[in-house]
Chain A
Amino acid sequence: MELQAVPPPILMVEGINVSLSGRQILHGVGFRIDAGEFTGLIGSNGAGKTTLLRVILGLETPTSGRVLLGGRPRSPRNPLIGYVPQKITLDPDMPLRARDLVGLGIDGHRFGFPRRSLTQKKLVNEMLDAVGATSFADARVGVLSGGEQQRVLIAHALISRPRLLLLDEPLANLDISSEQEIVDLVARIATEQQIAVLISAHDMNPLLPVMDRVIYVAAGRVASGTTEEVVTTEVLSHLYGHHVDVVHVNDRILVVAGRDTAAHHHADWRAC
């Protein structure tokens, strides 16, 4: 066999510890993502998924550990990453069209006024077409449905030709059929353009058909590998620190907590 230089992984996370307001959110988190891999970042709310994504993006500084993108430490502009945030925080009345938002993906970080060349306009149209957003390209971003917004956000992230697409809980606000459409869309684009995907979700089931690997987050720790390796009673119980059962029902996987640890909910009745 010939010795070939192994290209560095698109994303390498090593020994990440994060503390926020005195609480340890992430403990020694490490994993890697190689080119073209579709990876699900699975965990319930509060497990640390968002924090982990923020660390990768450079929005949060870990107390220790490092993040390597394409073998190199992160740069301020992160050109390798296309980030798809969960939603657009904007008044529905604001004058910003879908195509404007996608256009910002090209040069939103540059000073000055956007002067769109014909090539750029074509590119924007292509991206909108690729995500199926052409029919509402001129509509205000604020009045789009959850699924439509996700498409526009994906186009926005894709237009800068990233090597890694990072999606923060894109399925959270969607109904079931939209969920499936978005998953199919992302998987298709990822395969066509050989882009790695890291998509966070609290329910792994919509992703099962397309996931190559899974990173399961619980209590600030992760286990990564294929679904068969990671999503087992033994591995997850160890991860959670208490017994959980992994149940297969038809094609779905359910993770069910054991009897002894019910989640507590604290009502905050204190005066403001």
Chain B
Amino acid sequence: MLSVRFIGSLAPVFEPGFFSSSPVRVALIVGGVVAIVSGVVGTFTVIRGQAFAGHSLADIGTAGGSAAFLIGVSPFYGFVAMNLIAAGAMEMIGIRRPRGRDLATGIVLGAALGLAALFLYLDTTHSSTTGATINVLFGSIFELPSSLVPVIAVFSVVATGMVLVSYRPLLLSSLSPDLATTRGVPVRLVGIGYLIALAVAVSLSAVTIGAILSTALLIGPAAAALRLTKRAPFAMAIAAGIGVAATWLGILLAYDSYDWTPGHGWPVSFFVVSLVFVFYLVIHSSVGRTSARRHPASAEAA
């Protein structure tokens, strides 16, 4: 039968032991869930034009993740704590002069990365594992303790839930805060809820593909999805779909790559990021430029 032939021909793609390997199963589940959260939250990040803030948040989180590693706790909790603090600080500083804010953000970024350097160094010297740097910065999706899975699940549900529940007010206040206010939307509250969801989403993808690469999963699928549709619910679904596809394919390729270069595989995060990039480029070039301008206010200053 054709279907048997088809499945048979797929066999070389899935190297032996793929589906029976426990770390792979955990990786697939966690990776998939995290990709969904990133896609949903990331859609709004792109709509709000806050890609740089998301990126800075992730980098700042490295300090938290590496500190957590040092005290023997899963980096995830460190990411979440640090990201929540940073998101809160960003909210309080607010939107003033864009350039001044960028400079201040950059300085804080530098300080946080310096702290990360410190903690990671202490990690490697004190805990005699050399994996801290790679774990925190580039993800540890194949080494997740199964005790973390339910935690990730809960946080994912909460973050996604927050966005879905406040989807309409969030969309309105993202497109026009003033209009939202006049319609009675609690813009500040909605904004804070979104920042919490963002902090969690960035932390989740920091665990799977690493803190400094997590931006890819946040904005890549979302930006691609928004090129395909202007309707937010579809965009969120498509972004989640692209993210899951890139993650699962990345996991598969990373697993297979153990046989390409004998001894060790290629990093999962590399595959996921590359796939997100490729997906984006393909969609970008085949759909063509729509007339939506992402940052009307950030075009050349008058």
Contact = CB atoms under 8 A, between A and B. Distances in A.
B292 A270 contact: yes
Interface string A119-155: 0000000000000000000000000000000000000
Contacts of A160: none
Interface in A229-272: 268-272
Contacts of B126: none
A86 B300 CA distance: 14
Given A91-B97, A91-B99, A92-B97, A271 B47 contact: yes
**Residue of B99, B294, B302 with most chain A CB atoms under a 10 A cut-off:** B302
B182 to A, nearest CB: 13
A271 B239 CA distance: 15
Nearest to B301: A89
Contacts of B47: 271-272
Interface string A63-94: 00000000000000000000000110101110
B97 A270 contact: no
Contacts of B294: 272
Contacts of A270: 230, 291-292
Nearest to A173: B302
A67 B247 CA distance: 58
Contacts, number: 32
B296 interface: yes
A140 to B, nearest CB: 14
A268 B232 CA distance: 16
Contact of B49 (A87, A92, A272): A272
B226 interface: yes
A91 B97 CA distance: 8
If over half of A's interface residues share one DSSP class (helix, strand or loop), that class is named, otherwise mixed; here it is: loop
B222 to A, nearest CB: 11
B289 interface: no
B173 to A, nearest CB: 13
A215 to B, nearest CB: 22
Contacts of A268: 293, 296
A86 B100 contact: no
Contacts of A91: 97, 99-100
Nearest to B98: A91
Contacts of A93: 100
A89 B295 CA distance: 18
Contacts of B226: 271-272
A145 B234 CA distance: 48
A13 B296 CA distance: 32
Nearest to B291: A270
30 contacts: A86-B302, A87-B302, A89-B301, A89-B302, A91-B97, A91-B99, A91-B100, A92-B97, A268-B293, A269-B175, A269-B176, A270-B230, A270-B291, A270-B292, A271-B47, A271-B175, A271-B226, A271-B230, A271-B232, A271-B235, A271-B292, A272-B46, A272-B47, A272-B48, A272-B49, A272-B226, A272-B292, A272-B293, A272-B294, A272-B295
Interface of A: 86-87, 89, 91-93, 268-272
Given A272-B46, A272-B294, 13 more contacts: A87-B302, A91-B99, A91-B100, A268-B293, A268-B296, A269-B175, A270-B230, A270-B291, A271-B292, A272-B47, A272-B292, A272-B293, A272-B295
